[in-house]
Amino acid sequence: MVFKDNREFIEALEKAGELVTIEQEVDWDLEAGAIVRKVCEEKAPSPLMNKIKDYPGHRYLGAPLTSHRKLALAMGLDPDSSIPEIAAEYLKRTNRSPVEPVLIEKEQAPCKENIIIGPEADLFSLPGPMVHDGDGGRYLCTWHFVVTKDPDNGDVNWGMYRQMVYDHKTMTGPLLPFSDGGKVFHGKYKPRGEAMPFATVIGPDPLSAVAASAPSPIPETKFTGMLMEQPVELVKCETVDLEVPAHAEIVIEGEILPDVSLEEGPFGEYTGYRTSPRDLRTVYRVKAITYRNDPITTISNMGVPTDEGQLLRSFTLGLEMDKLLRNQGIPITGVYMLPESTHHLVVVGVKAIYTNIATQIAQAVFGSKLGPWFHMVLVVDDKTDIYNVDEIIHALCTRCHPINGIHVYQGVGTPLYPFLSAAERKKSVGPKVLFDCTFPLDWDPFSEVPSLVSFKNVYPKEIQDKVLNNWEKYGFKPR
């Protein structure tokens, strides 16, 4: 099952018991944000808010992808699929050949049901929510993506870069220089003094959003097709030379200005804190707005776990690192990033067949393009279940030597790490740490390596099977 738009996905969420429809009026000024925040913290169903104060005809969908159940649904899987099952499906689909998008006619594209160009295209005509108390303004774009194009080779990029409404025609936001969109803007358009055309897509289908927030090197138009297992349908923009998903709810077109910056923030961030102060950031000038009838603005409310940025970025970052390490021929058994770590902790399972293999892993992942987004790597042996938090904590606390097993590195960070000083954040410095939770290879396996006392380690297979097969007969709940 592939959802070509968010509306079909909303139906699937409802069928799976993952949607709550709110018919009473909700205020865009903090109330909607507070509902979404509570949903994140309670791991509750996604709220569809059908009536927004001051904005008749507009709707909100909050927290669309805040759990692995919702992610499984988005991928057309059984919502009860386990995390390793969803991960295996992601790897299967994204290890195939890229799937080219198709261009459809404007008349067939729902996002063109309403077209407003020029002076009438007013950002305050859209219900940008005041997401958190203390935010620097109304964040219209929290679950969306920005489409841009490289001026030299025409490569298209979709990236999720937050945008705050500054005035009727202007949005501002951080376009970090190590993001793909940021590299093209800061490295090409800005030095040439040229404006960069952009299109912001609000309320995309769920897999386009997954692709836009994923750190894959494959262009997102093709990567979405791989995730969907069919081409994504695009349509041309009205005022800029870009294409956008035809079934999106709202599209904002315009230009990113090369010679001016305006204040943005602060904003509640994915780390669960508000770390970056109000500062001068990238400026988006609006030329046109197109939207579906009764448009649904998507809201992500970043804060303490679990929001969709934490969940999806942990999921996709982990799996892209899995590909990277396997491509280097390192004998890993898997990679998992805990969403609760706000994608700061990478857990890697490995068959430790040579000395310093954990160091090699840490250097590979910290030194990769993905490195700035995390600062902790924890390496465990191939018998540890990387998805089991109990086993990970146990490995950390019993197998990591405080002097020999902890290694500190200097790397690239983001301006958002809460543990950095304000001065360090400004420079995006990135202190990194490896926790090597493998026992040294030169220890004798019988006399020196302590043996693990666990159900799966100390009982013969036939006893384990007997106990598991009789589990419910003994009177326990099904596992």
Ligand X SMILES: Cc1cc2nc3c(=O)[nH]c(=O)nc-3n(C[C@H](O)[C@H](O)[C@H](O)COP(=O)(O)O)c2cc1C
Binding-site ranges for ligand X (CB under 6 A): 142, 157, 159-162, 173-176, 179-182, 213-215, 300, 309, 313
Pick 179 or 438: Cβ nearer ligand X: 179
DSSP reduced 3-state for 376 = strand
Q: How far is the CB of 344 from ligand X (least distance, A)?
A: 14
Pick 157 or 438: Cβ nearer ligand X: 157
Pick 99 or 160: Cβ nearer ligand X: 160
Half-sphere exposure for 334 (CA within 13 Å, toward CB): 17
Pick 109 or 283: Cβ nearer ligand X: 283
8 A C-beta contact, residue 230 and residue 245 = no
User: How far, in Å, are 162, 213, 222, 395 from residue 75 at the CA level?
Assistant: 24, 15, 16, 32
Q: How far is the CB of 263 from ligand X (least distance, A)?
A: 15
CA distance 209 to 316: 12
Q: How far is the CB of 266 from ligand X (least distance, A)?
A: 12
Pick 180 or 253: Cβ nearer ligand X: 180
8 A C-beta contact, residue 380 and residue 395 = yes
Q: How far is the CB of 57 from ligand X (least distance, A)?
A: 26
Strand residues in 327-405 grouped as ranges (E): 332-337, 345-350, 376-381
The H helix count followed by the E strand count for the chain is 14, 21
Q: How far is the CB of 373 from ligand X (least distance, A)?
A: 7
Comparing CA positions, the residue from 214, 231, 287, 230 lying closest to residue 255 is: 287
Q: How far is the CB of 160 from ligand X (least distance, A)?
A: 3
Q: Which helix (H) or strand (E) holds 20?
A: strand 19-22
Pick 75 or 176: Cβ nearer ligand X: 176
Q: How far is the CB of 331 from ligand X (least distance, A)?
A: 28
User: How far, in Å, are 40, 203, 248, 256, 473 from residue 7 at the CA level?
Assistant: 21, 9, 10, 30, 45
Pick 59 or 313: Cβ nearer ligand X: 313
Full DSSP string of 398-425: HH--TTTTEEEEEEE--TT-TTS-HHHH
Residue 212, token pair as written in the block: 């836009």
